Amino acid sequence: MKLIKLVRGNQVVEFVVIVALALALAYAIQAVVVKPYRIPTQSMEPTLIPGQRVLVDRLGNDFFGPSIGDIVVFHPPVAAEGPGNGSCGAVQLVGAACSRPVDKEASVNYIKRVVAVGGDTIAIINGHVILNGKRQKEPFANFNGCATDPNCTYRTPIKVPAGYYYMMGDNRSDSEDSRFWGPVPRAWIIGEAFATYWPPDRIGFL
């Protein structure tokens, strides 16, 4: 009888230890390697829709910076939210988008696409990115509404500072992004979104 109680007691302890280790491992993976995020707005439509959930690689950003075309989660400058929303950290040239953010990082998370990196020049015409003088092929983007939206056109080229990344939503006429508050330094980037896992009909890699 005592032997049976002892065995059952050991099984309970073993089960508790296994559960604790599994929870610790899951927390470590989420904190360091992969983290889930929920899409809050329509700014990345049609690629990502509100309520959709993505997985973000946090570890890779420590070794490799994002590339043009990558979808990333990051902290925008504080000018992107609250009072002063949209304010630029530099004097804007006539017909130019914002070339530099304010110095302070916001605590909120944004998800956008990288459209230019440090050293590139960028202009925007009817929502289309003109990168280093060449119009980019962007089959993923939605340009509806850009024909009459002045925020879709910034013909004067600007240069992205070294170590910074220019972010834009795929829904070009309905996205608060680098056009208004400037590029994002690498230190503010959380990681690259590489897959979507909800809803079921949109599961796949990005």
- For 79-118, what is each residue's pLDDT tens digit? 898 654 568 999 999 999 999 999 999 999 999 999 999 9
Judged against a pLDDT cut of 90, whether residue 29 lies above it is answered with: no
One of 43, 99, 175, 178 is an active-site residue; which one?
43
Q: What is the pLDDT of residue 8?
A: 53
Q: What is the pLDDT of residue 81?
A: 81
Query: What pTM did the predictor assign?
Result: 0.84
Measured between alpha carbons, how far is 95 from 122 in angstroms, rounded to an integer?
12
Measured between alpha carbons, how far is 102 from 17 in angstroms, rounded to an integer?
48
Mean pLDDT, the chain, integer: 86
One of 2.60.120.1310, 2.10.109.10, 2.120.10.80, 1.10.730.10 is the CATH number of 39-205, namely 2.10.109.10
Each residue of 144-203: pLDDT tens digit? 999 999 999 999 999 999 999 999 999 999 999 999 999 999 999 999 999 999 999 999
- The residue among 148, 95, 137 whose CA lies nearest residue 115 is 137
3-state SS assignment for residue 200: helix
Q: What is the pLDDT of residue 170?
A: 98
Judged against a pLDDT cut of 90, whether residue 43 lies above it is answered with: yes
Q: How many CA atoms lie within 13 A of 162 on its CB side?
A: 0
- Assess whether 107 carries a catalytic annotation: no
Non-local CB neighbours of 200 within 8 Å, separated by 6+ positions:
none
